[in-house]
Structure 1
Amino acid sequence: MLSSFVFSLLLSFLSLVQADDFSDTGLTRASWIWNPEPNLQTTAPIGNVAFLKTFATPSGKSAISATIAVTADNNYTMWVNGQPIGSGDNWQTARFLTAQLNTSTNVFAVLATNQAAGAPVDANPAGMIAAITVHYADNSSDLILTDNSWLAASTIPANFTTAADVSAFTGAEVAATYGQGVWGTASNSLETPNTLNLTGSSWIWSTSSADINAPVGSIGFRKTITSPSGKTATSATILAAADNTFQLFLNDEYIGAPPHDDNGAATTGSWHFAQRFTVDLTEQTNAINIVATNFKAQADGGTTAAGLLAVVRVAYSDGSTQTFVSDASWLAGAATTTPLAFVAMSDNALVPAIVQVAYGSQPWGQLSIADALDAREVPGDNGPGDDSVSDSQSQSAQPGSSQSGGGSSSPTGSANVNAPAPTTNAAGPRIRAPPLLIPLLSFSVFGFSRLIL
């Protein structure tokens, strides 16, 4: 748990630092890139282009997380190691994303769309720009900028986000450095950070003493939220973490899961990071369904600690918000074999969840937060991925050293990702990206390559 503890301290330190300007993100040193085409700044063809950047952690270092500033003309979706983390459709505003990383090698993938400016066949400028700060366990960092070392492809293979097959890719072309070309310095808006955190929540499970040991298997949890009289729910930000992993559903729709990890000794378990989703709600009643899975101990196949942690902030049409935390008001089911079986259960078949410990207490301590994109917004993804949870997977004996497994969602076919996005409005197709938790101030510290804190 050392890496998670160090990263939590790092975030606490960053909260004392004030951002200076847009250049603090590192984006001002990046370049607009695209698939090689003549005249990218004037007549780039409409359609999708995929980008890949594989980054190997330097010897002697362990990567923990990445903070990312990214935008594209016209819109984009971004993945890290196959996990969708965010999207955006306003190229003039850079979004800030946070991702959990593998300790050694990590793959950053972007699917960007050049939208028609007028008639469906009109060509126009196209580009994607990003600055990625990789944070290490020793508090140092590296800065990755978009340039011609990135790979690009307009013929996009299925599951391109894992970089398993790069035969269709070629070196990206630099259309312009930041501040130059048709984009100029127009992309200089900074997204307002989301400050929702895990304070006040509790680790819950279906049995007592689960913070010490719990049976292997999957348990479903539910929180039904009804809008107060006179209010209309519009959206929610959901923070969720589970030891070992979980699948999140809104009502009966699959929303997402943590990144998959191989439960290896060199991997930071997915439970170290609460996943943050932003979802649209129905106006009156919404059921948050989370199916959490506890794996057997890696060493001896025995029992191990288990828990679910969650915070839900509901936004209403009048501008007000209401926050709900995981506690004894949540309902829990018996052991279940499939998430959809739990989602279909009535409340009468469930019992109150049992509080284990307050957030921040052992054996889990403080967690970091990583972004995750609503699966309904992911191109080519319509439900739980192939990495579905399995009770037979194993973990280390205790949360302090466990490495969890989990589900991930990624494009499942080339047909969806290759088709040009529909022209729903002048700004491009509606691709909603969640607001980001990591404050802008973080980039005033990490805006420089290999800066050692």
Structure 2
Amino acid sequence: MALLVIYAFCSLLLASFVHSAPDPVSASNATANLAPAATSPLTFAASKWIWTASSTAGATVSLRKGFTPPLGKSLIAAEIIVTADSHLTFYVNGEYVGSGTPPNRGRFAQRFCVDLLPSFNVFAATGITPAPATDGGLLATILLRYSDFTTSTIVTDSSWRAHAGTPLGFEQLSFDDTAWPVAGVAGSFGDAPWLEVNIPADPPVITFDRAQWIWTDVVPASGTLPAGQRAFRRTFTPAPGQVPMSANIIIAVDNLYTLYVNGVEVGASNGFKVAHHHVVNFAPTTSEIVLAVLATNSAASTAGLLLAMEVNMVPSGRVNCTAGAFLLSDAGWVSTKGAIPTGFEQPGFDDSAWPAVVAEANYPAAPWGTNTIAAPSAPVNV
């Protein structure tokens, strides 16, 4: 009997030790999750521009890629860079991930971090064929992460499938795409008409490429505008699950500006030949970014606002992956021509009645020409 008691006691001690001892795999995961935010060196070098074999301008195209990991492998997440010409909408396993608006330009990629199912996963996208119809294309690189800390890569190529239109449920795991034709390869990365693509990165490299000089919707043919102040606004809403971390903004205004981000004054200056570089850090509770600019035309002359922003984001619950997006000055902004409303710079201000701005010219058009970009200012916390 005594031996049985001693045996039971020892068994309890051993069970307690096993239960409380740290699991080496869990410990490794904990260490990995504490890694600082970083941008993986993803590129489009091996990716192809893909589309349907034929499509008309303005038509919607759907594309899909199913992926099953090798035997013995288990997927956990993916880091994705993707763009489309034009109007990208992207899904993973039937869930909306994000879109390419703003801006609707194939030269600007979106960067997403998403969780994956351990086994079969489906990546799907829609786009709208631009004019000319030969310019349509989807470009993507997807970095897959496995539970054993290894990675592999998927690129857009002829292994994807493409279909004209948007069949109901095409983005879902259960959708049968075996009757869809394989995607046509429209070109390699770097080919015309798309050429280079800007990719969100950390640290960012930001330019005025494809930004437009904008003003209110009363720009005359002469380009000469009256002296006075005008207010401009643009709202950026992150993709689901992506939390804004920081933004780099470059801005030039003919003639004077005050820039606000989520109601906080970030900077003010004059002149347009030297663009100013503002850095903004966001609180972890930030759900959207509202840009507001008070612009002044000092005398009857040309007037314009030029801005480019790159936003770096992190997905909820993940710190070792950086997502990102771009926002430019374009016809998606709104402006008022009358008296400047009190509180126009605040996130909650209702600008739904403001008319859209006019895009005056693409950077670096005359009369403004090229800009030099000043060194970044000290970060502002918002």
Larger radius of gyration: 2
Higher relative contact order (CA 8 A, sep 6+): 1
Give TM-score, length-normalised by structure 2: 0.47
